[in-house]
Amino acid sequence: MAKINFDPQSPVIAVDITLEGKGGIKRRIKVALDTGATYTMIPWEIAEALGYKREISKEKVTLITASGVETAPLIEIKKIKFLGEGIDNVPVVCHDLPAKSYSWSIRRFISKTLQNYD
């Protein structure tokens, strides 16, 4: 089983993930591991680099952020890989946060991945 080394004194656990989009386009990004998040969230810049367009989103979600309540589109990306495991067809919220503050929820990923170890 893979391990993450992190500083327990740090306010953020930063990890690398690989996202795969349309046509096999891949992007490796550093994200904040947020086990309490409801949604996986990536910025539009990354979604567009993976081949997704803003107009493909038909579903919207309401987010409570530090700056208030906001609405953001929900899209489905082809794959997320983390700690050597991957999950296909992942719904993600596309929302631009301040620079270097990309957030990713691992809750759904952990529940799917741990099934492989039972």
Q: Long-range contacts for 2-7 (Cβ within 8 Å, ≥24 apart)?
A: 2/83, 2/84, 2/85, 4/33, 4/83
36 or 112: which leads in pLDDT:
36
Judged against a pLDDT cut of 70, whether residue 108 lies above it is answered with no
| pTM recorded for the entire structure | 0.76
**Domain spanning 16-117, CATH architecture:** Beta Barrel (2.40)
Q: Are the beta carbons of 91 and 80 closer than 8 angstroms?
A: no
As beta bridge partners, residue 76 has 91
Q: What is the pLDDT of residues 10-19, one digit of tens each?
A: 888 888 899 9
Q: What is the pLDDT of residues 26-37, one digit of tens each?
A: 999 888 888 777
Question: What pLDDT shows up at residue 43?
Answer: 87
